[in-house]
Amino acid sequence: MTPDRALSDLREGKLSPVYLVAGEERHLATEVVRAIREAALAGATPGLNDEQLIAGETSARAVVSAARTLPMFAKRRLVVVRNLERWDAQGEKKANAEALDLLADYLDDPSPSTVLLLVAGKLDKRRRLYVSALKKDFLVLCEPLKRDALPGWVTRAVRERGNTVAPGVADLIAELAGPELGAVADAVERVCLFAGQRAEVTEDHVAECIVRLRPTTVWELVDAVGARDTGRALATLAGVYDPSDRGLRLVGVLAWSARQLLKFESASRAGASPEDAAKRAGAPPFKARDLARQVKQIPRPALEAWLETLAGLDLALKGGSKRPPQAVLEHAILALCTGDRGKGRAPARRPA
């Protein structure tokens, strides 16, 4: 089952006797584990029916014994086993294989008065435990979200906090804080607190508490690059470069801007009015004139080349180049102004 479905079932009071929460997206896994814990121990005396175990530090037989133990003064007890991948890391060892198989046997006849919560990072999908949990609908798979799914997640997270989000801002937050949901959730919390209760989250709020960079200033840089005005582009870059993050957030905003222009261009080419094209691009209608001017100034092939150059720039700033970050940024801006894709890429590493 998906994390969303697991959380929905728990809100409705539907509890499974076993959960295998597996996957590498820690924020989702933490959210699901917390919800299972709250539902399983609702109305119970704290500490009496809550047992925490670590795979490798306890045996699988001890886990099953704990799961078979009756609750004290409550409807059910919770047994949590973390780091289950420890029994999978050295899977060729007989003892580890037997541990996971013993848990798989328990899944065939789980105790009705216990919720057994098994938590793992990356687990071999060929294991009988994994296959059995999937077949019995005990598996909650917490995998990283794809990039195109992040804006929807941001929008839902903002609404859950009682706020709304302006057009395009969810995509901007996803670009700046993603792909790990922990960082995205932290960004959503900060921007909602900054905006205030029931307020709309805007680009200005994001600029103030996430990127420390005004979108209008980024558009000035986009304008300069689109006009092939190297001097103005480099001067604008010098004014917005933040050495504390090596310019990574600036690259994120530039990539977001380029994608917005591509979406606007596609909608306009399909016959949409400037206002409708702006909406489809995730921008407010009042930006339609500026977007139309930008698209007229920068042809689609150039915008596509921008994204390729910015991807190389992101890699270079994250360790793909030994040059100072500001020099790497300046080199990429020159590449964008001249239309030379190769200049913006990180240099190939020499074989050792």
Give 33's DSSP letter.
H
- Output the six-digit token pair for 245: 């993050």
| Topology adopted by domain 215-344 | Zinc Finger, Delta Prime; domain 3 (1.20.272)
Q: Judge contact between 350 and 265, C-beta under 8 A.
A: no
| Topology adopted by domain 147-211 | Helicase, Ruva Protein; domain 3 (1.10.8)
β-bridge partners, 77: 114
Provide the pLDDT for residue 339: 67
Give 93's DSSP letter.
S
What integer is the mean pLDDT of 250-278?
A: 89
Calpha distance 66→114 (Å, rounded): 9
Among the ranges given (67-81, 150-164, 205-219), the one the predictor scored with the smallest mean pLDDT: 205-219
Where are the chain's structural domains? 3-141, 147-211, 215-344
Q: Judge contact between 17 and 41, C-beta under 8 A.
A: no
- The one-letter code for the residue type at 210 is I
Calpha distance 143→122 (Å, rounded): 10
Q: Is the peptide bond before 179 cis (omega within 30 degrees of 0)?
A: yes
Provide the pLDDT for residue 348: 40
DSSP characters over 192-217: HHHH-TTPEE-HHHHIIIII-S-HHH
Helix pair angle (230-240, 325-338), 10° resolution? 150
Calpha distance 238→332 (Å, rounded): 13
Q: Give the residue carrying structure tokens 């901007």.
A: 172
Q: Give the residue carrying structure tokens 């270079």.
A: 316
- The one-letter code for the residue type at 292 is A
The string of pLDDT tens digits covering residues 121-150 is 888 888 999 999 999 999 999 999 988 899
Q: CATH says 3-141 is which class?
A: alpha beta
pTM above 0.85, yes or no: no
What integer is the mean pLDDT of 270-291?
A: 87
Report the chain's terminal Cα–Cα distance, integer Å.
45
- Say if 3-141 and 147-211 have the same CATH topology: no
Distance of CA 314 to the CA centre of its chain: 17
